[in-house]
Amino acid sequence: MTPAQYLDFERAAETNHEYVHGEVVELVRPALPHAVVVGNLSFQFGRHSLGPVFTNNLRVSVQRGKLMTYPDLVLVEGDPHWLDDDRDTLTNPGFIVEVLSPPARDYARATSRGRLYRSSISEYLVIDSKPVFVEHWRKLSNGNWELATIVDRDATLHLESLNCEIPVPEIYDEVERYA
What range defines the domain where residue 125 resides? 30-178
Residue 6 lies inside a defined structural domain of this protein: no
Of 36-40, 85-89, 105-109, where does mean pLDDT reach its minimum?
A: 105-109
Residue 40 lies inside a defined structural domain of this protein: yes
- Give how many domains the chain has, as a whole number: 1
Q: Confidence class of residue 103 from pLDDT cuts 50, 70 and 90?
A: low
CATH of the domain at 71: 3.90.1570.10
Residues 6 or more apart from 42 whose CB is under 8 A from it? 53, 55, 73
Residue 17 lies inside a defined structural domain of this protein: no
Instruction: State the pLDDT at residue 50.
Output: 83
List the one residue out of 45, 46, 67, 71 whose CA is nearest residue 58: 71
Residue 106 lies inside a defined structural domain of this protein: yes
Residue 173 lies inside a defined structural domain of this protein: yes
* Mean of all residue pLDDT scores within the chain: 91
Coil, helix or strand at residue 133: strand
Residue 15 lies inside a defined structural domain of this protein: no
Cβ atoms of 62 and 120 closer than 8 Å: yes
Separation between Cα atoms, residue 135 and residue 4, nearest integer Å: 32
Torsion of CA 2, 115, 51, 169, to 10 degrees: 130
Residue 73 lies inside a defined structural domain of this protein: yes
Residue 5 lies inside a defined structural domain of this protein: no
